[in-house]
Amino acid sequence: MKQYLVDAFTSRLFHGNQAAVCVPDCWPEDELMLQIAAENNLSETAFAVKTPRGYQIRWFTPRSEIDFCGHATLAAAYVIFNFLETELTQLRFESKAGELIVTRCGELITLNFPAYPLHATAVTDDLSAAVGVRVKEACAARDLLLVLEREEQVLNLRPDFARLAALRWPIIAVTAQGRDYDCVSRCFAPSLGINEDPVTGSTHCLITPYWCRTLGRSALKCYQASTRGGVLHTRLEQGRVIISGQAVLFAQSELMV
């Protein structure tokens, strides 16, 4: 089985978010896919299998399957567009998150994802203690979004990962309005075996509706301020979040399985 290692949401190697992409002829056993993901030890390994209408896609963290992943979808599309079906300009992925449409224009790949609804949730002492600073506002969907007062708080945050892992949300994001970008964020998923995710496309399906509403905008330039860092161009459109970004290939290999 061939595997590709891709840096997503970046135009430079060693930046953005790493994802492994496997495109087998048919579905491996779930246990094998989880073993491959654990061996890769990246935030996500994507598996995509061709169908008459496009591809089915599934995503695995080092510990478990996840229902939706943005950066690994971008990475899988990059692999298919550049190495497997180079004539294509549009892909359809069937997933647990529904049908995902991906297009490309030059080096830019655009993902059409469902927007998470914004549900306000109480700001508790436990939430502030987990992230280590006072939380201004909180919204919840699949993930939890914690809004901070200042960009510097996001950049300098040192959360308590054990406290974060005890929360009921798989991904906890912190965000604030930015200076050079419309918003900045960081995302943590210790319960999934990922203390900090470098660039998280799926959580921007929550970040984008929040900041579009707050800023009165329909399009944003977002920066995820992890050590690797990544830029996402997003817009809100008829209940969908449109996310654009680039990707680069780091390596390809043959798995001995």
Catalytic residues: 44
Structure token digits, residue 137: 């506002």
Query: Can you tell me the distance from the alpha carbon of 167 to that of 127, in angstroms, rounded to the nearest whole number?
Result: 9
**Around Cβ 61, how many Cβ atoms within 10 Å?**
24
Structure token digits, residue 237: 């459109």
Query: Can you tell me the distance from the alpha carbon of 93 to that of 229, in angstroms, rounded to the nearest whole number?
Result: 26
Within 50-186, residue ranges assigned H as helices are: 70-79, 125-131, 151-155, 161-166
Do 144 and 172 meet the contact criterion of CB atoms below 8 Å apart? yes
Residue with tokens 């059409």: 112
Phi-psi region of 194 (alpha: psi -120 to 50; beta: other; left: phi over 0): beta
Query: Can you tell me the distance from the alpha carbon of 97 to that of 84, in angstroms, rounded to the nearest whole number?
Result: 24
Phi, psi at 58, each rounded to 5°: -135, 155
Query: Can you tell me the distance from the alpha carbon of 232 to that of 216, in angstroms, rounded to the nearest whole number?
Result: 18
Helices (H) and strands (E) in the chain, counts: 6, 18
Phi, psi at 29, each rounded to 5°: -65, 145
